[in-house]
Amino acid sequence: MFLARPSRRIPICRGEYFFHSPVLTIVFMMYFAPLASAGHYKYSTLSWQEVVEAGAEPNTVRFTLLSSWSTDYAPYKSQGTGGVVTVNDVIRIQGLGNPVLEFGDGTSQLLKAKVISVNPVLQSWLGVSTVDHAYPSRSAFLAVFSGCCRGTYLTNNAGEYWNVTSAVNLNQQAISDWEGWAFSPRADFLPRVTVRANRNITISIPATTPGLASVLKLAGRPLRWALGAAADYGAAGAAPLEALPAVSAFIDAATGLLSVSA
């Protein structure tokens, strides 16, 4: 499994977004084992955009969390239609550590996700959570979504906590060139990719920004990609993919082409 994150950073399994120079940091999980196993968390991405709608409170940010979870996790099954997770169900996200979205200003919120797809083969479901939050000032904050546990079938960081972060910067000076409103970039990538062992693979990890005008303004400040460090995985003693024996990984900082040998 390959999972990603940006600096104007972009993620896939965890996200950390910095408003200044655009860099996409990639975080990996790898497995060569059965699909069904303990550990209800699969992957997630976190992005945000300032709300400029009429009537919105000042400094309001809309967070969007896309997250994937096990359909066999009992607390999720109990919230599903007839005991089965089904598209359009609304499920409260649960797990060890009582997962919440911490906004970085001393407040937090429980999350519910609307199920948008179910994959019976992978025994997983994908949900979307949308939360608006008004910050006390146009400053910098670090939003954090964390909890436990990752799948025990992973080759690295099995059964560990996840940690998804998004750096929110509402500083007016920092966004003066961005039409007066702020946002994070977003990785558009399938976080789970199945490949054969002992093969060299190359995967493109595309990234986008919200709105055509924003893309045009990025012309002189293109997004860039980078591999995540151990601290980006959100667990003590976490092992990046490239730290595993007989595994090498490289990402082209300018194109987002990821090369992996395992």
The H or E element containing residue 217 is helix 212-217
Per this entry, what is the length of the chain?
262
197 burial (CB, 10 Å; 0-12 / 13-18 / 19+) is: exposed
Query: Per residue in 181-194, pLDDT tens?
Result: 566 766 665 566 66
Is 163's pLDDT higher than 70? Answer: yes
Burial class (CB in 10 A: 0-12, 13-18, 19+), 136: exposed
- Is the pLDDT at 175 greater than 80? The verdict is no
The answer to whether 161 and 11 have CB atoms below 8 angstroms apart is no
Question: What is the model's pLDDT at position 212?
Answer: 44
Please check the confidence at residue 154 and state whether its pLDDT lies above 80: no
Provide the phi-psi class of 229: left if phi over 0, else alpha when psi is between -120 and 50, else beta.
beta
**Spatial contact of 90 and 152, defined as CB atoms under 8 Å apart:** no
> What digits encode the pLDDT tens for the residues 95-143?
887 899 999 999 999 999 999 999 999 899 999 999 999 999 989 999 9
> CA distances (Å), 224 to each of 24, 81, 124, 177, 254, in order?
6, 42, 31, 19, 5
Task: Record the pTM.
Answer: 0.74
Question: Token pair for residue 137?
Answer: 């000032």
Q: Give the model's pLDDT for residue 196.
A: 72
Average pLDDT, the chain: 74
Q: What is the pLDDT of residues 195-244, one digit of tens each?
A: 677 778 888 887 766 554 454 455 555 677 777 776 666 555 555 555 56
